[in-house]
Amino acid sequence: MNEPIKWALNKMPRTQDKQLPVMSLENVARARAFHQSFPQYSVTPLAELSGMAAELGLKSLCIKDESYRFGLNAFKVLGGSFAMGRYIADEMGRDISTLSYEYLTSPAFREEFGQATFFTATDGNHGRGVAWAANKLGQKSVVHMPKGSSQSRFDNIAKEGAKVTIEEVNYDDCVRMAAAEAQNTEHGVVVQDTAWEGYEEIPSWIMQGYGTMASEAASQLRQLEIGRPTHVFVQAGVGSLAGAVVGYFANLFKTDPPKFIVMEAKAADCLYQGAAAGDGEPRAVTGDLQTIMAGLACGEPNIISWDILKNHVDAFVSCPDWVSAKGMRMLASPVKGDPAVCSGESGAVGMGVISSIMQDDAYKELREALELNKDSQVLLFSTEGDTDPDKYKKIVWGGEYPTV
């Protein structure tokens, strides 16, 4: 038998919700306008899985497919690029709206601004996004990856001209390493999507950058005449993506928000641990954080996101690796008539969770608590494609991590 999915309904005390304005519609609109100035920009698809919805007993099921984002196979570049833009704008005393891609890649900009070095830690996707943006804007980047990182993800970052290493420590220690090096480098700045005391501005910009994806999804739902989703499922590592998505939709539907469900890898379920404790205090998970969901293998929560999540999320879910593997296979081989979605290990966990909740009575209590039924309009986010192609094939074609 597979190890069960664990879950905790949100019974944490609410706060004054001071971080929700980070994801205001105005802030997200500015980020989206910045991204739209890039020639590589296009709106990524929202796959409508009508057949799967019927199979699972839902009214609708849509999944945002980020495998098409800027040709980088993952959503993360949205955060890193906007944070770089905001940092440069602040350094130059300019408004971000005046800094288009065309200007940022011009000789005039290079002469006026010079060059900074952007440091970051990553499992792969965030670092690739930072390296890509730095490369395009004529800046430098240094990327540290935790032990166990895949060679293909390392190679993709190196191709963008970054100085990249795989360290013998976990993700959270790589973050500390990047921050220390940035501090000791002239024009060095750390671009990390986790926030801690004293490091909150850049993570908030990264979250706003992620808001472009949520904003696109909201527009696409309107085009499909679905409008407001009743349930939004979003995965979390440090929680920046989850805080961005939850914050955006909480602002968009202020008086009638969707139910929000946050999912983590069991090996790094710091948000779930905090929710299960129920006191509102963040928890940290330590150790090697071994999971196929490399993008979610982060053991210390972003404090900005944590405040948003504990005020707005309905349930926190801790997922063993088989859940993601199941989701990958379901999306790759969908119900006849539905589009296939190439979704990697960190991208497909939502599909694995919603199918398990709807089809396995072991999760009947959660299904009923969340009021998931034939009237539910569910939104998921596939945050990456096959960013580790060998692992993707082993799971989808080879049947690794079976559902038994």
Helical (H) or strand (E) element with 78: helix 77-92
Q: Residue 224 half-sphere exposure, CB side, CA atoms within 13 Å?
A: 23
Q: Write down the number of H helices and E strands in the chain.
A: 16, 11
Closest residue by Cα to residue 250 from 316, 313, 303: 313
123 is catalytic: yes
CA-angle at 109, arms to 106 and 114, nearest 5°: 125
- Name, in order, each residue with C-beta under 8 angstroms of 328's C-beta and a sequence gap of 6 or more: 343, 344, 345, 347, 348, 351, 352, 392, 395, 396
- Name, in order, each residue with C-beta under 8 angstroms of 397's C-beta and a sequence gap of 6 or more: none
Choose the catalytic residue: 65, 123, 269, 386.
123
Rounded Cα gap, residues 314 and 310, in angstroms:
9
- Asked if 83 and 141 count as a contact pair (C-beta separation under 8 A), the reply is no
Strand order across the 117-121 sheet: 163-166, 140-145, 117-121, 188-190
Terminal C-alpha separation, the chain: 6
Is the alpha carbon torsion for 208, 306, 120, 237 positive or negative?
negative
CA-angle at 361, arms to 359 and 365, nearest 5°: 115
- Asked if 61 and 351 count as a contact pair (C-beta separation under 8 A), the reply is no
Choose the catalytic residue: 6, 17, 65, 76.
76
Structure tokens at 17: 């919700």
Helix (H, G, I), strand (E, B) or coil at 224: coil
Closest residue by Cα to residue 192 from 61, 306, 180: 180
Q: What are residue 311's phi and psi, to 5 degrees? A: -90, -20
Catalytic residues: 76, 123
